[in-house]
Chains A and B, each alone.
Chain A
């Protein structure tokens, strides 16, 4: 097998003290970037591009790839610890991770997250090494109708995000979708609903919205609902989940890693959609569905695995087609070019040592991540054990930096506060905020691809292409499934009582 010998060769080129130290530094930096809300993986990579100037191309690339892979994991830490997703894809980790923290078991959630992330990362890398060419080809068949169908399928996840009240979940989604239409219409250049604010020409930045809807709303709500103001988390336990427990949920971890990788391959879909879909599938296929949203280990694991899996996935189109699969890989393309490397199929031919060196470095990076993650967890647990009265203002101050760092603009900070108040008001009246985010993520994908597809053909185009048709049918089933199954249940119960 040629690939194995190439991979071995890859390991041999990075098996020096220098490269290993670079990977370690990259992983640490990546976790830091991930943990800080507002610094997305893409920004983390971009911030390090200037540092990589002086390095050899291989060392530069393994540094940046290590940052990228660890940043995706790092985001889940703050999501679990303080309900503040450090990166967009970590939103899903808040669903079950933060409830576990509130129950005093942050160690379980953080431990499950790092272990699942490492498995996801390994799986993503293995798929990247062995199946990148066919996967990249498949990704190219995704045209506008398929992207539209993917967005619609993604939207149906609301039925699983809502805890009981579908109407409120639908309203929250529609609020997100409508907020998403603010800004310049990509097809005509017309400014929609901007009310004269130039800052709104691109719509609301995503990260401030995220921080506001999750972190700020949680602080405002928890203060309002707390019994005593000096409340400290009772009995915080740093205990990790046992390996046995993780083994029990192996199917969900593997399934989510796979979903994460495959969706990561599709350019423009990204880690966030991957995490949402993996979570939804985990819930659907789990035996303890009721646990989801209240602190299910499976939920935390699904999110972590999918997020990390998407890293390997996003590198597939980058290395085989020269097309970035995510925002961070777009920066990687720039970095490759700075070092005189051109991403694409020729890279495999001319510079295969570098390509396989990068592959090998990913395996090493995930190994370091496991190690650093387990040590780091104890530190995070210390931080969340701090009195809420000190922790909450500090989170607000971090939210400030995070929102500001997105575009160096105070407008984003105000937007973050606005979303915080909106999220607080929504949650006060039992409207879930996760669907708002889902609407914000998918609205753009849905609208632009819907209109693009209509420019390419008429309305029939969505049903004439097999992938889009299948996804739309799945979406319809998934959307109405709770209603259908509820109807069945009712009928059954009625039958019993009679």
Chain B
């Protein structure tokens, strides 16, 4: 225990020394979604405006995947030195809750929330059901079969829908889409009744209208759209927010610096114009207010995720005896191969082995699907339905392949194998390459890889080998790093 304390103290002193001149190197914003997404563009706009107030250099790096979990883990894996800032949105709460505890919202120090966007219900102007009253009447009539469209299950918009149903005393069916715009297209084509989103979604789309707004007052730009509270329902502070956070434990000098920077940005005229242009509201919530909002939203998200029966699904996963069964199946597979090899040598052909391998793997995957939830949300076709269909197909065709091979219908006249050794060594070299990139970075390891690759493949003009290896690396530096600003791993040189 004292050892840890010592280390912590040492670390604090170290970070204190290091952060005295903060910022002295580029500060990276980690964005969880693809370039061009709302939060990505907001962040890029932010750094453009930040340049007015500080000489620090800012970069944006997109760490996509897992609805934000990859980006969160990336930030947590770095030092808490203030050089890595996470762009956060409300959707991270669902992500954290649904991925079962490897990352917590409390691992972060919430710096500032800069944008809030009220949640609204959107309907199609040309449809029969378009006002809040009509939605309620129609929902009661359809007895839970009214179709609500939006992004993925468990996300901010879905939870908003669950909350709305709960408070309005109705029930609907959530039809999830890959992204908001797909769901909007579906609403425009009248494949559903209600879309849960933000005011920006009706901008420039005259066929759509806002049926109800979850804010305290009517929105300035949409004076004809009523609030929920006017209609007697307590949905008045439901917003999607975007802000910025650091890894917890960052030195106070850093947070003070960034906090004052964010305050300046939040008052900047260009920033206000940009945010207003996206139909959202520019705000400034400091550390305390932001953290309170996150905690409040998290408590609510847990409540509605439970109500929707989603958290239940997450907990169902069990990891019992997975390794045992995997090992058993692998042994079974090898056993069959051995039997074949010793007793039916004429059947021992590549296609038969591949077929058997596919059948064993398919059986194993089928066994895994037995654990898949049969949740309330998947009453028609659950998460296991499609994988099982493909597994059945794979087993069927593998059996046909084996039978055909044995009956010698499949004639494979391939001439492989002359240079198998070289092929395999190149694969090995590539594995070594990927392993050393983490230590010595892309540029050095690529030069080494290119040179050794050329020798491996039998090329012996030394000057050309070295020249082209270095030339390629230089070219990739100029094109990717300088021109396109794609960050490549630098290993220990970072």
Contacts and interface: CB of A to CB of B under 8 A. Distances in A.
Contacts of A388: 457
Residue among B178, B314, B457, B488 facing the most chain A CB atoms (10 A cut-off): B457
Interface in A397-445: 397-398, 400-401, 404-410, 413-414, 417, 420-421, 424, 428-430, 443-444
A312 to B, nearest CB: 18
Contacts of A46: 34-36, 40
B313 interface: yes
Contacts of A178: 362, 365, 387, 390-391, 394
Contacts of A424: 423, 427
A167 B394 contact: no
Interface in A209-263: 219-221, 223-227, 229-230
Contacts of A376: none
Contacts of B64: 202, 406-407
Contacts of A192: 369, 372, 383, 387
Interface stretch (A90-98, A323-331, A366-374): A323-331
A417 to B, nearest CB: 6
Interface in B440-470: 442, 446, 449-450, 453-454, 457-459, 464-465, 468
A229 B419 CA distance: 9
B350 interface: yes
A189 B35 contact: no
Interface string A151-188: 00000000000000101101100110110010011111
A344 interface: yes
Residue among A177, A388, A424 facing the most chain B CB atoms (10 A cut-off): A177
A346 to B, nearest CB: 5
Interface in A123-144: 139-144
Given A178-B365, A428-B414, A188 B476 contact: no
Given A53-B48, A178-B394, A338-B274, A188 B382 contact: yes
Given A224-B417, A408-B63, A323 B398 contact: no
Interface stretch (A3-11, A37-45, A105-113): A37-45
Contact of B459 (A230, A410, A443, A447): A230
Nearest to B152: A186
Given A428-B416, A429-B412, A342 B426 contact: no
Contacts of A102: none
B208 to A, nearest CB: 9
Contacts of B147: 455-456
Interface stretch (B67-75, B131-139, B227-235): B67-75
B66 interface: yes
A422 B34 CA distance: 28
B420 A224 contact: yes
B70 A189 contact: no
A317 B185 contact: yes
A309 B112 CA distance: 45
Contact of B204 (A33, A177, A223, A347): A347
Contacts of B272: none
Contacts of B365: 178, 193
B397 A170 contact: yes
A190 B373 contact: yes
Nearest to B476: A401
Nearest to A136: B188
B450 A393 contact: yes
Interface in B395-447: 397-398, 400-401, 404, 410, 412, 414-420, 422-423, 426-427, 430-431, 433-434, 437-438, 442, 446
B20 to A, nearest CB: 30
A450 to B, nearest CB: 7
Interface residues on A, range: 35 or more
B134 to A, nearest CB: 20
A390 to B, nearest CB: 5
Given A223-B426, A452-B175, A321 B36 contact: no
Contacts of A49: 35-36, 41, 44
A167 B67 CA distance: 37
B219 to A, nearest CB: 16
B341 interface: no
B402 to A, nearest CB: 10
Nearest to A44: B484
Contact of B189 (A32, A140, A389): A140
A469 interface: no
B274 A226 contact: no
A448 B391 CA distance: 17
Given A185-B383, A401-B488, A227 B173 contact: no
B387 A198 contact: no
Contact of A407 (B62, B317, B398, B420): B62
A476 interface: no
Contact of A447 (B377, B386, B422): B386
B189 A141 contact: yes
A42 B33 CA distance: 13
Nearest to B35: A46
Interface string B298-321: 000000000000100110010000
B206 A393 contact: no
Contacts of B382: 188
Contacts of B175: 144, 452, 455-456
B292 to A, nearest CB: 27
Nearest to B404: A167
A229 B69 contact: no
A288 to B, nearest CB: 24
A331 B186 CA distance: 20
A343 B36 contact: no
A33 B62 CA distance: 17
B422 to A, nearest CB: 5
Interface string B169-213: 000010111110110111011011000000000011110000000
A167 B426 contact: no
Nearest to A448: B178
B427 A346 contact: no
Given A43-B35, A188-B378, A429 B184 contact: no
A47 B65 contact: no
A387 interface: yes
B66 A202 contact: yes
A387 B63 CA distance: 37
A482 interface: no
Give 6 closest A-B pairs by Cβ, nearest first. A393-B453, A331-B36, A46-B35, A344-B204, A342-B204, A201-B66
15 contacts: A139-B185, A140-B189, A178-B394, A198-B70, A201-B65, A205-B65, A224-B418, A323-B184, A334-B41, A342-B203, A344-B203, A345-B206, A407-B65, A455-B380, A456-B147
